[in-house]
Amino acid sequence: MEFTGDPAGPAAYLDAATASPLHPVAREALLAALADGWADPARLYSAGRRAQQLSDAARAAFAEAFAVRPDEVSFWPSGTAAAQAAVLGGLTGRARQGDTLVHSAIEHSAVLHAAARGRATEVGVDRLGRLDLDAWDRAVSAPGVALASLISASHEVGTIQPVAAAAGYCSEAGVPLFVDAAQTVGRADVPPGWSLLSASAHKWGGPPGVGVLVVRKGVRWISPYPQDDLYRPGQPGSVDLPAVVAAAASLRAVQAEARTESVRLSALVDRIREQVPALVPDVEVVGDPAQRLPHLVTFSCLYVDGEALLHALDRAGFAVSSGSSCTASTLRPSHVLEAMGVLSHGNVRVSLHRGTTEADVDRFLAVLPGLVEAIRKEAGM
């Protein structure tokens, strides 16, 4: 047998910030709801009523999870669809007050694409990825602002944003705030003060294909899409009710585990944050070291092609993602890393979930230095 020097171990999926593996409660609820929740909940027969009961229960569970009223919750085909509905519907609802969207420079690209539809003011972040609150205050106080959009925590570097303070400035200016909470829901509490909020089930261990949008009472929201006969905000047509039921059940389960999981994963992230710069020369760990998501860490390695590193890690059994330009469909570096002014090549984002073990992280730390060294050597460094 050839000795490779790599410690053996099972493959480790470390890209929970893209999609978390399905939570066992979600799987159970999904199978049950597929059997019992396939009918159209709007119909007047017993199968329809059973579906309606499941739908009501799921909606009530989300309302409890977000501490809102059930009729403020709507379901969308993805987190992206929910975020874009929030932005476009929020802008349309306030068309009489203005036409400008204020957003941070580190929003999810879904929000940036929606922003590109009209007028927008971008507010920058510092080197750690924290919103410039003075610039935010000035931007939301300017005339003609219809809506403001702030991600709860950066999906790329994990920095938690000052949502409560940003909401305070919005409130003073009379501007509704949309918070894209995809990375926070199920892991930590979202501060109050927002008017619209979106989340995505597969980020917390629910099934893919479920986005949740909350529009608070009194916030004017007008659908940007042609509507069907139902009057509530929501996607036109039927929702994937079994998936929505599974999303609701799994959110309740992950919220119950959130405190202990957050402590456990945060310690593993701290280990990566400390060990990577000690084991690999010329590495920049990016994002706020303290005000950060519990499960996500990002670093950039000088002189390393991000795509080559992703493939090398994949061969070693690790699934991670990257904000480097060579790994992006746009062939541009991550707008988040650019906004922060940190190194964008050789970028790796590691995000952990309830199935991640200490042994996974130890093996990752054992394998990474050799892979980086080999890529650098090949490049002549």
Figure out which of the listed residues 315, 332, 355, 359 binds other proteins, where binding follows CB under 8 A: 332
For the CB of residue 317, give the shortest distance to other proteins in the complex, in Å. 25
Backbone φ, ψ for residue 75 (5° rounding): -115, 140
Question: At closest approach, how far in Å is the CB of 305 from other proteins?
Answer: 6
Using DSSP, how many helices (H) and how many strands (E) does the chain show?
11, 12
Catalytic, out of 222, 326, 328, 374: 326
Cα angle 362, 348, 6; round to 5: 35
Subset of residues 187 to 206 that bind other proteins, contact rule: CB under 8 A: none
> Does the footprint of other proteins cover residue 36 (CB under 8 A)?
no
**CA dist., res. 331 & res. 74, Å (int):** 34
Map the footprint of other proteins across residues 307-326, applying CB under 8 A: 324-326
- Binding to other proteins by residue 257, rule CB under 8 A? no
Extract the runs of DSSP E, i.e. beta strands, from 25-98: 73-76
- CB nearer to other proteins: give 99 or 338: 338
Choose which of 302, 319, 366, 374 interacts with other proteins (CB under 8 A): 302
What is the distance between the alpha carbons of residues 163 and 81, in angstroms, rounded to a whole number? 22
User: Which residue among 107, 241, 333, 365 contacts other proteins (CB under 8 A)?
Assistant: 333
Residues 75-94 that bind other proteins (CB under 8 A): none
Q: DSSP label at 292?
A: B
Residue 129 binds other proteins (CB under 8 A): no
Q: Which of 59, 264, 292, 345 touches other proteins (CB under 8 A)? A: 345
Q: Which two tokens stand for residue 104?
A: 């941070």
User: Which one of residues 31, 116, 263, 379 is an interface residue with other proteins (CB under 8 A)?
Assistant: 379
Closer Cβ to other proteins, 4 or 330, answer by number = 330
Does position 154 interact with other proteins (CB under 8 A)? The reply is no
Least Å distance between CB 379 and other proteins?
6
Q: Shortest Cβ distance from residue 11 to other proteins (Å)?
A: 27
CB atoms within 10 A of CB 113: 14
Task: Assess 270 for contact with other proteins (CB under 8 A).
Answer: no
Nearest in space to 219 (alpha carbons), one of 166, 163, 178? 178
Residue 295 is a binding residue for other proteins (CB under 8 A): no
- 326 catalytic residue (yes or no): yes
Cβ 279 to other proteins shortest distance, Å: 17
Question: Does 329 sit near other proteins (CB under 8 A)?
Answer: no
287 binds other proteins (CB under 8 A): no
What are the DSSP calls for 319-377, one per residue? E-B--SGGGSTTSS--HHHHHHT---TTEEEEE--TT--HHHHHHHHHHHHHHHHHHHH
Among residues 344, 354, 356, 364, the one that binds other proteins under rule CB under 8 A: 344
Query: Quick check: 343 binds other proteins (CB under 8 A)?
Result: yes
Residue 357: partners with Cβ closer than 8 Å, 6 or more residues away? none
**CA-to-CA dists, residue 217 to 70, 141, 168, 200, 346, angstroms:** 11, 23, 18, 21, 45
Q: Which stretch binds other proteins (CB under 8 A): 62-70, 169-177, 203-211, 301-309?
A: 301-309
DSSP 41-54: TTSSSHHHHHHHHH
Smallest gap, in angstroms, from Cβ of residue 310 to other proteins? 14
Helix, strand or coil for residue 211?
A: strand
Is 331 an interacting residue with respect to other proteins (CB under 8 A)? yes
155 in Cβ contact with 179 (< 8 Å): no
Phi/psi at 241 (5° precision): -60, -45
> Smallest gap, in angstroms, from Cβ of residue 311 to other proteins?
15
Q: How far apart are CA 346 and CA 370, in angstroms?
A: 14
Q: Which residues are catalytic?
A: 326
- The site for other proteins (CB under 8 A) is made up of 282, 284, 300, 302-305, 324-326, 331-333, 337-338, 341-346, 379-381
